């Protein structure tokens, strides 16, 4: 891939700022105080994109609200990874029909992965005339220009061309207040797992310049963020497209040299590209959390092959065993799909047995959802939904018991946590995270927010630990 073509040139980005100024001036001349609501679905990558949209909206003169009904502009920042996420977006569009009746001037935008699917943008074009602007992830950086077109032309704007995908540096960002921040280090995916829509909507892998990533992390640490997550569909192939002999472990090692009191996490990792060197760098670092999210998807070799995952059950086990050996106490989580087309009960139970064998701290579990346009969506899928649900329930039962057991082993121990927010439990009003990202509900007052402290774990269940400061 030609790197020159991948980077959005600084002049083009500067040009976008002029559209922000135009929109702002338009509102000022009307003495309007417009409000915008960004509703983000799906993964952390989308959350990070949502923060960029908010940054651009603020530069356009909007204040932000979480209430679509009171907003002059609503953005649905969508996810396409499973059908359920898509259904929710169409449900929300239905609800917005009512708010738009109340406020006909309201601008409605649809963006994110769903917007990049031709099937979806066609449906929106035909059946949802209330939507003013549709743009895919490739066009995110030119949102100010697209929005200006909407205001100026009063026509519907669709920017959903199937492009290669770009990298745009320096888009303004509105971050969550507090201690956590997300940093995209790369975009896109080259893996084409047969069930997955992501490579079709987010384009090919492209890595940000290491110096740009390092500068952003340094800024975040200096601004007081303490829990920073590096994002990419597959961070383990970071750098492959840069051709400078610089890879993900190199980036981690360089970030680790940034002085300060903070944790670095990353997600997601593809097992086929996770190396022993990565685990060695993690083990030798001061700031990289001893936590690994390593999606396995299935514990059966035939299913893994059909999924195009390019590793075997044994290779996965060898990898996690090595990681656990060099990082005692490593907290391990994973993604699992049950009911891939053609999966039998015995094959699903291979996944359950792998889960038992590894002893994950927690799992993100999904029932397979066909995504039109992917290879798996064309495979015969004879198992019924009820059968899949049974296998899924079995998996949950095994995992919940494992999580409860691993959590119970913390009771009586003292662990270091980062206090990151409020909890909804009045007896334990604070929420905090261990280095392994386990949730600890905590006794204590708001003065502890944003601090690393030692806590004694006094209780546990499947989902959380409970504790008090020592
Ligand atoms: N059906 C169900 N789960 C899916 N995932 C991705 N595509 C699908 C699909 N079509 C899951 C995978 C992935 C996670 C982000 O979502 O487990 O790791
Ligand atoms: Fe989808 Fe596989 Fe890429 Fe992950 S690695 S985004 S599951 S294609």
Q: Average pLDDT across each block of 10 residues of the chain; the chain has 470 residues. List them in order.
A: 76 95 97 97 94 97 95 97 94 91 94 96 95 96 97 95 85 90 96 97 95 98 97 96 96 98 97 97 98 98 98 98 97 98 98 98 97 98 98 98 97 98 93 97 96 98 97
pTM: 0.95
Report how far residue 75's alpha carbon sits from residue 54's, in angstroms, rounded to the nearest whole number: 10
pLDDT recorded at residue 2:
63
Candidates 64, 27, 12; CA nearest to 175 is: 64
Residues in the chain: 470
pLDDT recorded at residue 1:
52
pLDDT recorded at residue 176:
85
Task: Tell me the CATH architecture of domain 414-469.
Answer: Beta Barrel (2.40)
Report how far residue 371's alpha carbon sits from residue 351's, in angstroms, rounded to the nearest whole number: 22
Domains 176-289 and 291-406 share a fold: yes
Is any ligand 1 atom within 6 A of the Cβ of residue 81?
yes
Is any ligand 1 atom within 6 A of the Cβ of residue 297?
yes
Ligand found nearest the CA of 296: 1
Ligand 1 binding pocket mutation candidate from 86, 117, 335 (most atoms within 8 A of CB): 335
**176-289 to CATH, choices 3.30.750.210, 3.40.1350.10, 3.50.50.60, 3.40.1390.10:** 3.30.750.210
Q: What is the CATH number of domain 291-406?
A: 3.30.750.200
Looking from the CA of residue 374, the nearest atom of ligand 1 is 10
Report whether 69 contacts 57 (CB < 8 A). no
Question: Residue 291: CB partners within 8 Å, gap ≥ 6?
Answer: 265, 330, 331, 332, 333, 435, 436, 437
Ligand 2 binding pocket mutation candidate from 196, 237, 310 (most atoms within 8 A of CB): 196
According to DSSP, the β-strands at 206-207 and 186-187 are antiparallel
Ligand found nearest the CA of 232: 2
Q: What is the CATH number of domain 3-159?
A: 3.40.50.12160
Looking from the CA of residue 199, the nearest atom of ligand 2 is 8
Report how far residue 237's alpha carbon sits from residue 335's, in angstroms, rounded to the nearest whole number: 19
The structural domains of the chain, with segments of one domain joined by +, span 3-159, 176-289, 291-406, 414-469
Tokens of 137: 């992830």
Q: Ligand 2 pocket by C-beta < 6 Å: which residues?
A: 189, 191-193, 196, 198-199, 233-234, 270
From ligand 1's centre to the CA of 463, what distance in Å?
22
């Amino acid at each position: 891939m030609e790197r020159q073509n991948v980077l959005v040139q600084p002049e083009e980005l500067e040009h976008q700022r002029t559209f922000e100024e135009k929109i702002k001036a338009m509102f000022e001349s009307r003495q309007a105080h417009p409000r915008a609501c960004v509703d983000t679905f799906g993964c952390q990558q989308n959350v990070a994109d949502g923060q960029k949209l908010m940054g651009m909206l603020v530069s356009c003169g909007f204040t932000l609200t979480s209430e679509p009904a009171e907003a002059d502009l609503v953005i649905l920042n969508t996810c396409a990874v499973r059908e359920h996420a898509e259904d929710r977006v169409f449900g929300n569009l239905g609800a917005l029909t009512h708010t738009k009746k109340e406020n006909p001037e309201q601008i409605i935008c649809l963006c994110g992965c769903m917007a990049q699917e031709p099937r979806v943008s066609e449906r929106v074009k035909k059946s949802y005339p209330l939507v003013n602007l549709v743009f895919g992830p490739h066009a995110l950086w030119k949102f100010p220009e697209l929005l200006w077109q909407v205001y100026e032309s009063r026509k519907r704007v669709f920017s959903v061309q199937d492009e290669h995908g770009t990298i745009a540096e320096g888009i303004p960002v509105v971050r969550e207040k507090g201690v956590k921040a997300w940093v995209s280090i790369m975009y896109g995916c080259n893996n084409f797992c047969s069930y997955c829509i992501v490579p079709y909507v987010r384009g090919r892998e492209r890595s940000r310049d290491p110096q740009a990533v390092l500068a952003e992390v340094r800024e975040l640490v200096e601004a007081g963020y303490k829990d920073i997550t590096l994002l990419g569909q597959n961070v383990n192939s970071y750098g492959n497209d840069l051709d400078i002999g610089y890879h993900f472990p190199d980036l981690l090692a360089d970030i680790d040299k940034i002085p300060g009191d903070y944790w670095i996490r990353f997600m997601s990792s593809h097992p086929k590209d996770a190396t022993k060197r990565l685990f060695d760098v993690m083990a030798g670092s001061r700031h990289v959390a001893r936590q690994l999210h390593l999606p396995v998807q299935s514990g059966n070799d035939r299913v893994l092959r059909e999924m195009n995952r390019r590793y075997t059950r044994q290779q996965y086990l060898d990898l996690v065993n090595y990681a656990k050996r060099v990082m005692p106490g490593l907290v391990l989580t994973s993604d699992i799909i049950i009911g891939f087309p053609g999966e039998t009960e015995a094959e699903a139970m291979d996944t359950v047995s792998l889960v038992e064998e590894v002893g994950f701290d927690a799992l993100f579990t999904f029932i397979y959802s066909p995504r039109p346009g992917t290879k798996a969506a064309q495979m015969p899928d004879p198992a019924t939904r009820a059968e899949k649900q049974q296998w899924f329930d079995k998996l949950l039962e095994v995992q919940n018991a494992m999580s409860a057991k691993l959590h119970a082993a913390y009771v009586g121990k003292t662990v270091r946590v980062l206090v990151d927010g409020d909890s909804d439990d009045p007896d334990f009003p604070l929420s905090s995270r261990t280095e392994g990202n386990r949730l600890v509900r905590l006794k204590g007052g708001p003065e502890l927010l944003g601090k690393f402290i030692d806590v004694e774990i006094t209780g546990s269940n499947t989902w959380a630990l409970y504790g008090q400061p020592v």
